[in-house]
A and B are shown apart, each in its own frame.
Chain A
Amino acid sequence: MEALKAVAEFNGADLVRRCRSGDGGAWEEIVSQFSRRIFNLAYRFTSSVEAAEDLTQEVFIRIYKTLDQYDAKQGDLTNWLMRLARNLIIDDYRHRQRNPQNSMADDVEDHTFHLRAVGGSAQKEIERRELCAQVQDGIDKLPADLRTCVILRDIEELSYQEIVETLRIPEGTVKSRINRGRIELAKILRRMRVVNI
């Protein structure tokens, strides 16, 4: 109910209009609304809290500079903003792949995950946190092209078409990479004894 209320109250086009006219409060609202989602997306690609933090900041600076380009007729703010964030984060990931010394992966088990949906006992919450750390560990072990496709499809839940547009590669390649990435991830998690029967 609270979530529905928040969605109803969030008017992207109006916020952008206020931002363009120099209203700092409106910009702060946009930062509050999207920072967690963008930070988590950055973390999935960087596996480092520090690198994800820096990347999130860069993404917001870029968003701030390009707010003028947002056109409400082309779609809602969430889609426009997340598409921009995704492109920047993937570009950064590709850049780091070409320059491996820039990799800043942390030990994922040190990080504290927070439940988006509240519920369940403390024991279950610990198990879920452990599972999340293992999934991130497994994703880190995937080759770069498969990792990108698995994150976009099975975590970000983008459609095949959206992935084609984001990565600018043919649909057949996207499908094949998703399939291969899922199988590789399952085999990695099997070796880590995460998905054993």
Chain B
Amino acid sequence: MSYEDEKILKCSEFEGLLTDYLDKSLESRTHKAVAAHALRCPICHTLLNEVKDALQLCHEISAPKASMTHLEARILSMTAPETAMSCKQFEEYLTDYLDGFLPATLFHRWERHAVLCEKCTDLPGEVVRSIAACYTYKMEELAIPAGLHSKILQATIGTTKAKTVKASWASQAAEWMRGLSFPISVPQLAPVAMMLLFAFLVFSQTVSADGSFNGVYQKSFELAEQTYKQSADAVFGSAPTNEQKSNQEPIQGTFVNEEENK
């Protein structure tokens, strides 16, 4: 639209079109002309703002914000007094109300009492703030007194240097055995557990007292030596030593060889 096409309004025409302008019911060309006049003329600009503010104020007054006004509560309590709630009942239902578990019929009676009873009206807010205070209290903690850890460790494991207390081999094995009880809860695995247990017992008999394998090698070495000596005696005919007699029963082959010598 060119400047020449613009519609020029007088102040009296602006005032006549003002309400329609605010209602946005003017055709486009006239709407723009009203807006342009408001920008050019400071008196009409002020008038436009005043009318806008007055309309806004009227709108706010006509819409009450409270859902349950004092007047409504009074009307209901006077027309249906049998539905009024006592202070005792009001307190009994307070937590259910706050938790949102109060049935609709009780809910409205409860709210009505909260609005009308001066003694009870602040109580729900105070309870909510009290719960919030408890929550704040929970978030703050006292530090544990100095030395409490040491006292507990001394009273339970008998030392304050807990890290130096190491698990013994036997207690570790006992805990390992305890762990074996888990698969046994499945019946099919019971034989496996028994085999493991048997293997453990055999193993525990062959290792030496300090838990090493050295004893096993030593023992097998001695046995091999004895077997070799007995074989040698059988072949070369020398009598076994007293020590060998006391420690080891002769093997079957020895008697056969003795008979052959005779």
Contact = CB atoms under 8 A, between A and B. Distances in A.
- A138, A178, A186, A189 pick with most chain B CB within 10 angstroms: A186
B139 A186 contact: no
A129 B145 CA distance: 18
Interface stretch (A33-41, A74-82, A87-95): A33-41
Contacts of B136: 128, 131-132, 135
Interface in B114-167: 122-123, 125-127, 129-131, 133-145, 148-149, 151-153, 155-157, 159, 161-167
Q: How large is the interface on B (under 10, 10 to 19, 20 to 34, 35 or more residues)?
A: 35 or more
A137 to B, nearest CB: 11
Contacts of A39: 142, 144-145, 148
Contacts of B139: 115-117
A179 B123 CA distance: 12
Contacts of A138: 130
Interface of A: 17-18, 20-25, 27-28, 31-32, 35-37, 39-40, 43, 49, 53, 56-57, 60-61, 64, 111-117, 128-129, 131-132, 134-136, 138, 150, 154-157, 175-176, 178-180, 182-183, 185-187, 189-190, 194-197
Interface of B: 91-92, 94-96, 122-123, 125-127, 129-131, 133-145, 148-149, 151-153, 155-157, 159, 161-168, 171-172, 174-175, 178-179
Q: What are the 8 closest A-B residue pairs judged by CB atoms, nearest first? A: A24-B165, A28-B162, A24-B162, A21-B175, A186-B130, A154-B134, A179-B95, A195-B129
